[in-house]
Amino acid sequence: MPDATFLDSTELVLNMGPQHPSTHGVLRVILKLDGEKVLGTDCVIGYLHRGVEKIAENRTYAQFNPYVDRMDYVAAISNGLGYCLAVEKLLNVEAPPRAQVVRVILTELNRIASHLLWLGTHALDIGAITPVFYCLREREEALKIFEKYCGARLTTHAFRIGGLLYETYEGFEREVRDFCKMFVPKVDEYEELLTNNRIWKARLIGVGILSAEECKEYGVTGPVLRAAGVKWDLRKAQPYSGYEKYDFEIPTRANGDTYDRYVVRMQEMRQAVRIMEQAVEAIPEGPIMGKVGKVIKPPVGEAYVSIEAPKGELGYYVVSDGSTQPYRCRVRPPSFVNLQALDRMIRGGLVADVVAVIGTLDIVLGEIDR
Amino acid sequence: MFKLLKKIFLVDLFQGLRVTFRNQNPKYIYTEQYPAERPQVAERYRGAPRLNNNPDNGETLCIACNLCALACPENLIVVGSERNEATRRKELTYFTYDTSRCMFCGLCEDACPVDALELTQDFELATYTREGQVWDRQMLEEGPKPTQYKC
Ligand code: SF4
Ligand code: SF4
């Protein structure tokens, strides 16, 4: 006779992933459950490990550029910007003004594309199926601009060290303007679907709370940090690529729960449109490539550059030994650091909220496993 | 009171439904009917590689300089060349390009000094075998010939 009756609680260890669709890739979460309650989680990562940092040591600086797109493939352009800025800092060159403005436009467009994919899949996880269709529809418009600009939609390889390779195409400004005009009413549409929806609110408010102190302890950045009320955005704090010229706000919220993170990201999309609108009016004439030789051979030294990627602080640390290949390239991916807070956010919660919390962290496994 | 009425009459849900119905308009159909309706990719699209011939005399433009092979991060291009004693120039003998390892980054295309190698707008690269992914010179010059379906 087993001793356990239905009154006893027994711990159940449940494996979620790596093929679970709501883990947004190949994340495996080991859940310790007491009935519906989560007692603890353990993340197993590395299923998508390709050794990108090691690959960097065997490639020249220019050759490594396409690989960084494959880390956070949802925001490939931001990755490219981070890497190019780091190598430019090593070389002590700066991209010409025209290149910087085009970079800002494309990175902000990529921020929107990334947030749209996040919104669609996050809503899908929670049970609202409609937004994903609308989000992908608008994301398509952004991807079309990428395709026309650089010839690829996802892993773009859009920027080169020292500036840009591709000149903007005919009608680039008009299309970006059209996108901005088209996009703001669409955000209103998503908000109409979700913001006041009672099911959406019931599933999100008070779920996965992470306070500002905890965010700082874990080193969490990006929208997760801002939803906890910390006004920290690297575009304002350490402006790069001419972000100091644009007028935009850092949206913050106070509670740090899943709903607040949703609101912050929605606001961020509106701010990204604002930046794009200002930038597209101010594209200066001039060269697009800085003074970089054909063979990139930075002097001995090291450089760390961090940028505000859609998911948080994305840092590139490149060490040069004076040869044509990086001695070491270390990436500080935002998703990897943000994922560490998962256990804190979900402990004591319900098993149904696990997917909501994984979704709200907006992780990309390509970046976590590298 | 107002809040309660709002809650009873499901205002928030109908608000969402309104958006859904607004989007029922057939004008808003975005899905491409792929095999029947082929997308027009952008002019700069980086798709299937092509080794261009000189349109005037049909000779290859490639001068077998090997720069594309050196530029490629994946080392997937192999250029074979032979010195032609009569003209005293290097001539291309074979050229293989392994599309299964290619990430279509465009670095080889940028490196080519004579615009012989080009990434074209063809995007249908699927094959039935792994060997079929390795393109030889003939394939690169002719380009892929995908089956086209008409509905
Ligand atoms: S596109 Fe990139 S990966 Fe492909 S052959 Fe050219 S350089 Fe190599
Ligand atoms: S770089 Fe151009 S010319 Fe040189 S070997 Fe390659 S395809 Fe031929």
Q: B60, B63, B76: which to mutate for ligand 2, most atoms within 8 A of CB?
A: B63
Do the domain assignments include residue A225?
yes
State the closest ligand 1 atom to the C-alpha of B119, by its place in the atom list counted from 1: 1
Do the domain assignments include residue B102?
yes
Closest residue in A to B110 (Cα–Cα)? A165
Do the domain assignments include residue A47?
no
* Ligand 2, residues at Cβ distance < 6 Å: B 62-68, 79, 111-112, 114, 116-117
How far is A78 from A290, CA to CA, in rounded Å? 19
Cβ–Cβ below 8 Å for B45 and A151: yes
Closest residue in B to A150 (Cα–Cα)? B44
Do the domain assignments include residue A246?
yes
* Residue nearest atom 8 in ligand 1 by C-alpha distance: B72
Bridge-based pairing of strands A159-160 and A163-164 is antiparallel
Q: B92, B93, B114, B140: which to mutate for ligand 2, most atoms within 8 A of CB?
A: B114
CATH of the domain at B55: 3.30.70.3270
Measured between CB atoms, which of B42, B72, B73 is closest to A148?
B42
Interchain CB contacts (distance < 8 Å): A and B = 67
List the domain range (segments joined by +) for residue B117. 49-142
* Residue nearest atom 2 in ligand 2 by C-alpha distance: B112
- Rg of chain B over Cα atoms, rounded to whole angstroms, equals 26
3-class secondary-structure state, position A185:
helix
Do the domain assignments include residue A13?
no
What are the tens digits of pLDDT across the range B27-81? 777 788 888 778 888 888 888 888 888 888 877 888 888 888 888 888 888 888 8
How far is B130 from B147, CA to CA, in rounded Å? 19
ipTM score of the complex? 0.80
How far is A31 from A21, CA to CA, in rounded Å? 16
Angle, helices A97-126 vs A76-91, to 10°: value is 150
Do the domain assignments include residue A288?
yes
Any bridge partners for residue B105, and if so which?
none
3-class secondary-structure state, position B4:
helix
Cβ–Cβ below 8 Å for A130 and B20: yes
CATH of the domain at A198: 1.10.645.10
Ligand 1 centre and the CA of B48: distance in Å?
A: 11
Cβ–Cβ below 8 Å for A193 and B19: yes
Number of domains composing chain A? 1
Do the domain assignments include residue B19?
no
Q: Is A193 exposed, middle or buried (0-12, 13-18, 19+ CB in 10 A)?
A: buried
Cβ–Cβ below 8 Å for A70 and B103: yes
In eight-state DSSP terms, residue A128 is -
Contacts of A157 in chain B (CB under 8 A): 105-106
Do the domain assignments include residue A45?
no
Do the domain assignments include residue A1?
no
Closest residue in A to B104 (Cα–Cα)? A152
Do the domain assignments include residue B4?
no
Q: Where do the H-state alpha helices sit in B9-151?
A: 11-22, 67-71, 107-111, 137-142
How far apart are the CA of A77 and the nearest CA of chain B, in angstroms? 13
Ligand 1 centre and the CA of B68: distance in Å?
A: 8
Do the domain assignments include residue A69?
yes
Do the domain assignments include residue B107?
yes
List the domain range (segments joined by +) for residue A73. 52-337+350-369
Cβ–Cβ below 8 Å for A151 and B107: no
3-class secondary-structure state, position A92:
coil
Closest residue in B to A168 (Cα–Cα)? B44
Q: What string of pLDDT tens digits covers the 370 residues of chain A?
A: 445 445 556 788 888 878 877 777 788 888 888 878 888 888 888 888 888 888 888 888 888 888 988 888 888 899 999 999 998 888 888 888 888 888 899 999 999 999 999 988 888 888 888 888 888 888 888 898 988 888 888 888 888 888 888 888 888 888 888 888 888 888 888 888 888 787 888 888 888 888 888 888 888 888 888 888 888 888 888 888 888 888 888 888 888 888 888 889 988 888 999 898 888 888 888 888 878 877 888 888 888 998 988 888 899 999 988 888 889 888 988 988 888 888 888 888 888 888 888 888 888 888 888 8
A170 and B CB contact within 8 Å: no
Number of domains composing chain B? 1
